Amino acid sequence: MENLAPIELLDPEKLSFDRFREEVLKDYRLACESREASLLGRKEVLTGKAKFGIFGDGKEVPQVAMAKFFKPGDVYAGYYRDQTFAFATEAATIEEFFSQLYADPDPKHDPHSAGRQMNSHFATAFVDSDGSTLDLVNRKNLTAGLAPTAAQMPRALGLAAASKAFREVKALKPFTELSNNGNEICFCTIGDASTSEGHFWEAVNAAGVLQVPLAIFVWDDGYGISVPRQYQTTKGSISEALKGFQKEEGTNGIDIYKVKAWDYAGMCEVFETGLRAVRQTHTPAIFHVEEVTQPQGHSTSGSHERYKSPERLEWERDWDGIKKMKEWIVDNALASEEELNDIETEAKESVRNSRNLAWEKYQSPIRVQVNRSVELIREMASQSADHAEQLSHLAQALSANREPGRKEVLETLHEATLLAGDGVAARNGATYYKELKHDNAALYNTHLYHEGARKITQVPEIKPVYADNAPVLNAYEVLNRYFDELFTHNPKVLAFGEDLGKIGDVNQGFAGLQAKHGADRIFDTGIRELTIMGQGIGMAFRGLRPIAEIQYIDYLLYGLQPLSDDLASLQYRTAGKQTAPLIIRTRGHRLEGIWHSGSPMGLILNSLRGLHVCVPRNMVQAAGMYNTLLEGVDPALMIECLNGYRLKEKLPSNLLEFRVPLGEPEVIREGEDITVVSYGATLRIVQQAAGVLETLGISCEIIDIQTLLPFDIHHRILESLKKTSRLLIVDEDVPGGAAGFIFNKVMEEQGGYRWLDTAPRTITGQAHRPAYSSDGDYFSKPNAEDIIDAIRAMVAE
């Protein structure tokens, strides 16, 4: 056995033997409870009471060791194998673990995701119901777990980068409820096979460059599901593969530690030393935890006996962490085997009780629905001459269902009301069905965006004010003046991205501002869009208001995964307990060339529900939208017009005060004959066409939608249709992209079809990407001639 010497579990306090023994036995009890939760959890899946399960068995001992050094203020970014860590930090209870396994939608039972996430995705509150950031310094903070492999890595970088900002940015020193001078560590966990993902390598490289307090724990069980690690990792070892990253004197980089998952004492010693260094020096660290076992295999969807040899399975039984910890305790005379057996027995009983309580709490409201539904269906049967037998059978089947879900209740009730016709009992059943649909919508279809006091659509409009002698500037200079004011008055705002710092971004919106406001607030990054997004997400989690730049919208693809799987779903999957109000700044529209075509709006709309998508036509509008977004707590994507930076615009005198409301289109030209809907740079093409059409006696009403998400919340476009009775949507995205989205909203949601005298039309870009040069742009995207001809034809119909 390695490291049989007593260990110091609390630094710098020297523990008495009794206190030391108590601490060790507490950890052993917790490990046993977590193991039993995994064993019972698998049984709940196999018996059908839960749908699916992935558990943390085999990782109990390293996680109780790791949790010892997780302090108030620290933050965690991990995945679905960390149940023991959540129990050890008291961020979750075993009863909550089972409530999540059953997908209980009551947030009092599953406060981590309200039944919206698979088991073992834990989350603590970061904001209150009004969206205000909580005191994060005096609590242990778990960011909502992620299932996509390595998806926690980009966010983890940002959570650690926030500590660096709090330590280095003087303007942030007053925010003592958010940080204790940047002393907080981000604890990140990942399975060894997932270190093959690009997310891992990009995040580790960025952490080594930035020197941020990121502690990465790699659980190495030798496999990626069934694939051995020699097929996953160079040299068959992530710590060996990373040796070139090892920090040496005079260099940046990371520290690398190797421990064994069954060596409780050794892990406590190494974790204590390594994490102290991370906290004090902000040097990131990798803790490669080797020889992890998986007693039940990867998940409930398969058996590891199919791909592990009998010898490997025997080794895992012999070197199980709990078994080895028990041997170590006995060998060091900390407890007898009988005492430990008693702890194991008590742990099993405690977990069974927690499971039973969770199941009862989950089933109790459903049984109420079942009983009421059965009562109503039997009433229908008594009043139905033709379908009494079928209705009685439905009532009996629902009543006999031992493990009903809300789905079965609604399906049965709906079927019954269809059979029962139009009697009083049928109407009562239909009314109850509608009540349940409404109640379940609140359980399952809320919190995509913030719903409290800082709801973004409640931010009132404040119009820009222009002095009589207001200067007329290049549009990028308007933005530059705005950002200067913003950084002067809002210390929580930071901005970063490729070429953003020293040269002030490729279009000069930040020109000169790094020198004025500091390189710790406005700074350059490497070419790494994925972790630029993660850096922004993590910093926003911790109460900052980052603006993270993607140089061109086409490069958003590199950073799309964390935006879609993490940021866009964050408020939904935590039922509003967490938000990360990141603003992603980019530019696009009316670009030239295949790689700078700049309008993948359908892609954005379909993958980023949960973000606001702003498409301002000019930079004054953009500034007003930035102000509105900073009033709220939702994340957003700001797409500035690339070919608009050198157009002339008046400078408002109330740069920080005016607000452009989101979800409210603006009529920028009134007309009588046709409603033309567009946004961004394409509006200028529409305006050009409208000028020609006016000379031909055709009056166009042009509407700038301003934001795609939210979209026309007061149905302004419908009001225009009532006047013009014709609709043309002009969009430079591919056919069926944003134009299809707008069409659906106006025709189906707003009922615009009722007011049309002729078929509505869309004019979009071609299905291919735009060819290079101005001619390529002309033939690939909508042009004024296309718009003129389409409108003339529609008016003539």
User: Edge-to-edge strands of the sheet including 75-77?
Assistant: 141-142, 75-77, 186-191, 214-219, 285-290, 255-260
| Other Cβ atoms within 10 Å of 517 Cβ, number | 22
Rounded to whole angstroms, the Cα distance separating 513 from 485 reads: 10
Rounded to whole angstroms, the Cα distance separating 788 from 691 reads: 10
112 is catalytic: no
Backbone angle region of 56, left / alpha / beta, with phi > 0 → left and psi within -120 to 50 → alpha: alpha
User: Which of 741, 733, 718 has its CA nearest to residue 763?
Assistant: 733
Rounded to whole angstroms, the Cα distance separating 459 from 550 reads: 26
User: Which of 72, 78, 71, 67 has its CA nearest to residue 31?
Assistant: 67
- In this structure, the strands spanning 674-678 and 700-704 are parallel
- In this structure, the strands spanning 612-614 and 707-709 are antiparallel
Helix (H, G, I), strand (E, B) or coil at 662: coil
Q: Which residues contact 571 (CB under 8 A, 6 or more apart)?
A: 447, 448, 449, 450, 578, 579, 610, 634
Half-sphere exposure of 211 (CA within 13 A, CB side): 13
Rounded to whole angstroms, the Cα distance separating 245 from 203 reads: 12
Say if residue 421 is exposed, middle or buried (CB neighbours under 10 Å; 0-12, 13-18, 19+): middle
Q: Which amino acid is at 390?
A: Q
Half-sphere exposure of 229 (CA within 13 A, CB side): 23
Rounded to whole angstroms, the Cα distance separating 384 from 420 reads: 6
| Other Cβ atoms within 10 Å of 634 Cβ, number | 26
| Other Cβ atoms within 10 Å of 438 Cβ, number | 9
Q: Which long-range contacts (CB under 8 A, 24 or more apart) does 404-407 make?
A: 404/363, 404/366, 404/367, 404/370, 405/366, 406/366, 406/369, 406/436, 406/440
Q: Give the 3-state secondary structure of 450-498.
A: CCCCCCHHHCCCECCCCCCCCCEEEHHHHHHHHHHHHHHHCCCEEEEEC
Q: What is the dihedral of CA 536, 538, 543, 547, to 10 degrees?
A: 0
- In this structure, the strands spanning 75-77 and 223-224 are unpaired
Residues 285, 278 contacting (CB under 8 angstroms):
yes
Residues 526, 535 contacting (CB under 8 angstroms):
no
Backbone angle region of 84, left / alpha / beta, with phi > 0 → left and psi within -120 to 50 → alpha: alpha
Active-site entry in 596, 612, 715, 768: 596
The DSSP string of 234-284 is GGG-HHHHTGGGB--TTS--BEEEEEETT-HHHHHHHHHHHHHHHHHH---
Using the CB atoms, write b or e for 364-403: b if 16+ within 10 Å. Answer: eebeebbebbbebbbbbbebbeebbeebbebbeebbeeee
Catalytic residues: 596
